[in-house]
Amino acid sequence: MKKIFFISAIIVSVFIISSCNTSKNKKQKLKNNLIAKNVIASYEFDLYPEVSEWIKTLDKKFVSIEIDKSLSQEIKTYNDDDNLMSVNSIKQNLGILTDTQLIEQENGEMKMNIIKSDLDINSIKSLYFKEKWFYNQDSSVFTKNIIWYSPVRYYYKYDTIKYTKRWIYRIKNDNFNKKTSKQIAKNIIYEVDFNVDTSTTQIEGLDNKQFVDILINNAINKKIKCYDAMSTKELTVEQINNELGNTTDTIFVEDPETGEISTKIAPGIIDKSEIKGLMFIENWYLDTVSFNIRKEILGIAPIRFVEKYFEDSEKPEITKKIPFVYYFTNKKPNIF
């Protein structure tokens, strides 16, 4: 009996150790290579970008439908203090105002005239997203979990020439239902600069140096497949190095004693600090009941900011380059 108990104890111990190792492995697989803790990204998505082809599949009609549903209180909207918004507050943020004006009649009497301002849907020029970002190099997964988003209205403040913008309301993205969802965008492309904090773009907790190191090292060591942004052809390691600025050059060197000229190969270097943003390729899905949005990331591309001097210019001009595209699915849409 003691022997049976002893064997059982061993089996239980092995099972516990095995379970611990399994849990440990799972935790390792779930490691977020972007950061030491959560990454919270807040940025604007331009509904009318310079490269309109990038978002030509986006069904922008959902914005006007969403606003109508917010005014009829069919969907929940929140203010900055996380309180439910009233219809009057939404109207005020949308610029839908009612005013009165006294007009003198022919008989000298004053009559009150009601003036109504209608909604200008074209003034909604962007969407503001607040998201949690997660990237794991082992499982090749990059996800964005939207915390909330808001349509943004651009307008001239009062009768001045000052152009300003206003967040209309927040839609909490905590109730996405796949059964009531539909696709509203396919293969849309946009960039997020993670190296600069502005009034609208802030990425908290991102260790961008660590992320860039991982991404470039994996590309050069062929741990990930990298593709050309123009043709979606797979790039060689040499081509990746060239795109990242690691090119060799031939220079002429003069011997100070003999005066003889000889050639020398000067190897280039990869300046990882030039990578200051990410290009995203995504599909978007909208829950037609809650108006929650889910993003499916198809691929990412580092954005390289390169200084280039032109004739008669004292300061360099910044040009953007896409060294390579890294896809997470078999779908490989072109960026250009």
> In the prediction, which pLDDT does 95 show?
87
Report the range of poorest mean pLDDT among 161-170, 180-189, 190-199, 232-241: 190-199
Of the candidates 319, 295, 321, the residue with the CA atom closest to the CA atom of residue 229: 321
Residue type, 330: N
> In the prediction, which pLDDT does 171 show?
98
Distance from C-alpha of 74 to C-alpha of 76, rounded to nearest angstrom: 7
Helices marked H in 192-244: 208-220, 237-243
For 141-178, the pLDDT digits (tens) are: 899 999 999 999 998 876 667 778 999 999 999 999 99
> In the prediction, which pLDDT does 1 show?
44
Distance from C-alpha of 266 to C-alpha of 249, rounded to nearest angstrom: 5
Residue 205's contacts (CB-CB under 8 Å, 6 or more residues apart) are 34, 35, 36, 37, 38, 39, 40
Distance from C-alpha of 89 to C-alpha of 168, rounded to nearest angstrom: 9
State percent of the chain over pLDDT 70.
76
For 4-56, the pLDDT digits (tens) are: 443 344 333 433 344 444 444 444 456 777 665 689 999 999 999 999 999 99
Phi, psi of 54 (to 5 degrees): -65, -30
What confidence tier does 140 reach under pLDDT thresholds 50, 70, 90? Answer: confident
* Mean pLDDT calculated for residue range 243-250: 74
Q: Give residue limits of the domains in the chain.
A: 33-97+114-327
For 248-307, the pLDDT digits (tens) are: 555 556 667 776 766 555 556 889 999 999 999 999 999 999 999 999 999 999 999 988
* Mean pLDDT calculated for residue range 105-115: 67
Give pTM, 2 decimals.
Answer: 0.79
